[in-house]
Structure 1
Amino acid sequence: MPTIIIQPSSKDTALESGYPTSNRGRDPKLWIGRYYIGSSGKSVYRALIQFDLGILPPDSLIVEAILKLYINYTTNDSIPAYVTPFLIIDEWDENTATWNNAPNIDETVFGSTKAITSEGWYGWNITNIAKGWINGLYANNGVMLRTPEIQNLETKSFYSKDESINVSLRPILQLTYITGTPFTLNDRRFVKTKSFYVSQDEENYTDINDCSSYSKFTYFVYNTSENPVIIKLLISPGDDVWIEDSEEIVLDPGKTATLVPYFFSQYTKLSFKNKEIGKAANITVWFEAQV
């Protein structure tokens, strides 16, 4: 299968909460993460990045899309920054974008999370996002890169498209594709919910979902806290006897997990609890189903 390297990005910039009206569209280095939040102020960074996909041949179907950034500086190597790319909904201008007028994102559409520690190349799988851009499901407004923003001094910077010395280290989008004719299913309908939970030492449960009318479904769980949490998928034939349908999964801070059933049953839910006694975790749970 052919692969195309798109370098650099067509536009990129960073948003800084400490300077909410400042624009970073021409900076050669862009920051991500939380530098400091305290009584004397705050400084949190998020990055916006977009690539021009016009180089792809007509009727291309994306097989894999990897966003690659070269991290050139880390505030503290011992504090990882768990960076996730999220789909940007709105159009934005790299020369006017600021923290105050930042574009909205879709938090249910995201790529893989990567823990950044030291300098070097890092890659994020954004295949599902790129597929949506190509088939017209999503407008190509790029992605926002952000962390859970719960840890001081996690900040890292990467070379932007405006880096003039180390030009080979500018942002890259690596696309593997095939050519063919896409198709649509006119009667397809999706159901989606989003819920928030806080774990405890004892096992607790999400809301129960009746899956009798769904052909397939998936749970997405995002740990937005600084403590790990244990999650597990449960199924039931009648909302009375519950059976474990997955192994226990330890979800670390800033990480995302997907759970799909091995066996089909009418009712499903997730269980969750603290991994470490007395250390609660905040989790976001999405339930998505196809009718």
Structure 2
Amino acid sequence: MRTIFIKPPQHNAFWITKGISGNCMVCQRKPILLFGRQAGRVYRSLLQFDLSPLPQGLIILSARLACYIGYDECPGRIKTIDVYQIMSRYSLKRKLRRTPILTNSQPIDSKQTASGPAQVVCFDTTSLVQNWYSGAAVNLGILIKAHDETLNELTGLVSSRHPDSQQWPYLEIGYQEADASPGKCASSTLELQNNVVSADEWQQTPVVNILRFNYSYIVVNTGAHGAIAVLQQSADGRSWQDESGICRIAAGQSAALIPGFIVKYARLCYKSQFAGEATALTIYLQGRTSGR
């Protein structure tokens, strides 16, 4: 599997709305993209990426959106961030809007964070990028909002106007090149490695389109404490089910998680075995196509 990074976003901005369904004021060219609520106003942010650098004929296996926290009004408080597919057209040239931007009814992904600035937050956007690339969905961008917009607190993500380009938002897309011969693929193997650190809450590896592969996850615990992991699969990238029981990996040990059946998407969920005992993990995803 190969990887391409799309950075910076083509557009980034945020909206200020008086009430959840009131008129919107567009704010561009700001170093921070705000979302949340303050003084009766709701803030939501937008990102749009240009996928034209991707050549035709690729097989998109995974995609994630990575953003850095640039402002946190309430550091230490756990907050949930939702990302949505934007469904309606909009104009960033207009400073005011009378109608809200339409999104899907369900978020693409949600993440919890309690840390302050400089933390990176990653969202799984695999199915959305696949639909953008294939033309099944129109690429109008991604809306970022607080899960609970009744709480009076603001959080901000670093935008492409920030002086530190290393913290600009980006899309990380994993893909394979399709061969010109019908029914063949340029690569018959899949190899992916994630170096992570466990936490008290569940975390997930990037979602991968696994339909073509016989595969397994191998978890190596390189830290000093125990961890647990569960293999999950999904037919649509939204509804997930456990494909394995909870696997415990002691410090210095490794374990393999192998599916009994294969559907389109897979991911590995992991966390610390005991609260407060984070540990370093190396997670390998390895597979090969059937009949090769």
The aligned counterpart of 2:114 is 117
2:145 matched residue in structure 1:
146
Shift of the 133–125 alpha-carbon distance from structure 1 to 2, 3 Å rule, reads: same
Identity of aligned residues (%): 21
Please, what TM-score do these two structures have when normalized by structure 2? 0.56
Distance, in Å, in 2 between the alignment partners of 1:161 and 1:219 is 29
SS at match of 2:130: helix
Identify the match of residue 24 of structure 1 among 21, 24, 27: 27
Q: Distance in 2 between matches of 1:66 and 1:87?
A: 14
2:68 partner letter: Y
In structure 2, C-alpha distance between the alignment counterparts of 1:13 and 1:96, rounded to whole Å:
12
Deviation at 1:21, TM superposition (A): 4.1
SS in 2 for 1:53: coil
Give structure 1 regions of 4+ aligned residues with deviation exceeding 6 angstroms: 216-221
Gap regions ≥5 residues in structure 1: 184-215, 222-231, 233-246, 248-261, 263-291
Aligned-partner SS, 1:105: coil
Deviation at 1:32, TM superposition (A): 1.4
Q: In 1, distance between residues paired with 2:109 and 2:93?
A: 28
Equivalent positions of 1:1-291 (< 5 A) are: 1-18=1-18, 20-33=23-36, 35-36=37-38, 42-96=40-94, 98=96, 100-108=98-106, 110-119=107-116, 120-163=119-162, 165-180=163-178
CA distance in 1, matches of 2:96, 2:83: 18
Give the Cα separation in 1 of the matches to 2:61 and 2:237: 23
Structure 1 residue aligned with 2:266: none
Aligned pair count? 188
RMSD over aligned CA atoms reads: 3.2
Q: Deviations for 1:32-83, whole angstroms, at most 9, x for unmatched residues?
A: 12x34xxxx5121111111000111211121111101110110101322211
The answer to whether the 8 A contact 1:70-1:122 is kept is: yes
Specify whether residues 3 and 22 from structure 1 end up closer, same or farther in structure 2 by C-alpha distance, changes over 3 A only. same
> Partners of 1:54 and 1:151 in 2: how far apart?
38
1:141-169 C-alpha deviation (Å, 9 max, x unpaired): 11111123245244210111222x11221
Query: With structure 1 as the length reference, what TM-score do the two structures score?
Result: 0.57
CA contact (8 A) 2:24 2:100 kept: no
User: Structure 1 151/104 Cα, relative in aligned 2: closer, same or farther at 3 Å?
Assistant: closer
Shift of 1:98: 4.9
User: SS of 2:132's equivalent?
Assistant: helix
Q: 2: CA distance between counterparts of 1:122 and 1:30?
A: 14
Structure 2, unpaired ranges of 5+ = 183-233, 246-260, 262-292
